[in-house]
Amino acid sequence: MHGRADSAMLHSVMPERAIPFSPPLPSMTAGSLEVRLAATPEDLALAQELRYRVFCEEMGASGDDLARRDSDAFDTICDHMLVVDHARDNTGNPVVGNYRLLRRSRLPQGKRFYSESEYDISCLLAMEGDILELGRSCVDSDYRTGVAMQLLWRGIGAYVQHYQVPLMFGCASLPGVDPSGHVQALSYLHHFHKAPPELCPAALPSRLLNFTPLPKEQVDSRRAPALLPPLIKGYLRAGGMIGEGAVLDHEYNTTDVCVVVRIDAVTARYRNRYAPTAET
């Protein structure tokens, strides 16, 4: 989940500031790992360094090679959910997991979510209440055993509960910009997990990938999920739905789909597993 739409416009209306107000979270740890919100400019800088390593060095995205950070103007109006490994406090970057959170109530007047550079989300904007865009999800390569992502989801659960957010959404990515490698995966998402019309963002015509899904009978619904990245599979297990169409993001070297998760429809499995009050 990523994007840099309207960065310059945001700079023109938003003062530079350290970190947006962040609500307190219940204590959530697993061994030396802790999930918490960024509280200082230093926290944000460490998160941007992690994002650079994952998105630019591993995935081939373009970035600021001099600063070695992945950053944009949206960082100043978002909350940043971090997984911190306290065992690395004095030995390197302790931030090993990251999610960027942007609520509608935090957007400057008249400005857009960055997902709107890829998708028409007017159906979501019509909803009442504060909707939440998720982005910049990444985990350090040494911590991809599932524990760090579980902590991030617990933190998001607590955040959503604090703000009474009814719906989350964002762009999730498949690696690379060659759609021929994602025919089964994209066709599977289209036929088996497409959002209903009232909650279905649509790829902008100018960004829409020229792709025709396979007929449903040609999609192997048992094997196709294995072709999806872990993050997308996690959204689907939580009850997530997919918008109409896919988009190529050449800047980040990804093929993007739009994911929508209604909080009241999150599966019982995820509610129990990632309950915000749970501690380990």
In sequence order, the 6+-apart residues with CB closer than 8 A to the CB of 86 are 32, 33, 34, 94
Residue 90 lies in a domain: yes
Half-sphere exposure (Cβ direction) of 71: Cα atoms closer than 13 Å? 18
Checking if the pLDDT of 47 tops 60, the result is yes
Average pLDDT (72-85) is 94
Say what percent of the chain tops pLDDT 90. Answer: 72
Checking if the pLDDT of 5 tops 80, the result is no
In sequence order, the 6+-apart residues with CB closer than 8 A to the CB of 84 are 33, 34, 35, 36, 94, 95, 96
Q: Specify the pLDDT at position 4.
A: 37
The predicted-structure confidence for 234-255, as pLDDT tens digits, reads as follows: 999 999 999 999 999 998 999 9
- Compute the distance between CA of residue 159 and CA of residue 44 in angstroms, rounded to an integer: 18
Q: Domain of 200?
A: 7-273
Give the pLDDT band of residue 26 (cuts 50, 70, 90).
confident
Residue 119 lies in a domain: yes
Residue 75 lies in a domain: yes
Say if CB 105 and CB 130 are below 8 A apart: yes
Report the candidate in 163, 216, 164, 167 with the shortest Cα–Cα distance to residue 193.
216
Checking if the pLDDT of 271 tops 90, the result is no
φ/ψ of 103, rounded to 5, equals: -90, 150
- Compute the distance between CA of residue 135 and CA of residue 43 in angstroms, rounded to an integer: 17
Residue 94 lies in a domain: yes
Give the pLDDT band of residue 13 (cuts 50, 70, 90).
very low
The predicted-structure confidence for 80-94, as pLDDT tens digits, reads as follows: 999 999 999 777 899
Q: Specify the pLDDT at position 278.
A: 42
Residue 126 lies in a domain: yes
**For the chain, what is the domain count?**
1
Residue 18 lies in a domain: yes
Say if CB 171 and CB 240 are below 8 A apart: no
CATH classification of the domain holding 12: 3.40.630.30
Report the candidate in 238, 276, 269, 39 with the shortest Cα–Cα distance to residue 152.
276
Residue 139 identity (one-letter amino acid): V
Average pLDDT (197-221) is 96
Say if CB 232 and CB 257 are below 8 A apart: yes
For all residues of the chain together, what is the average pLDDT? 87
Pairing of strands 132-139, 167-175: parallel
pTM > 0.85 = yes
Residue 1 lies in a domain: no
Residue 236 lies in a domain: yes
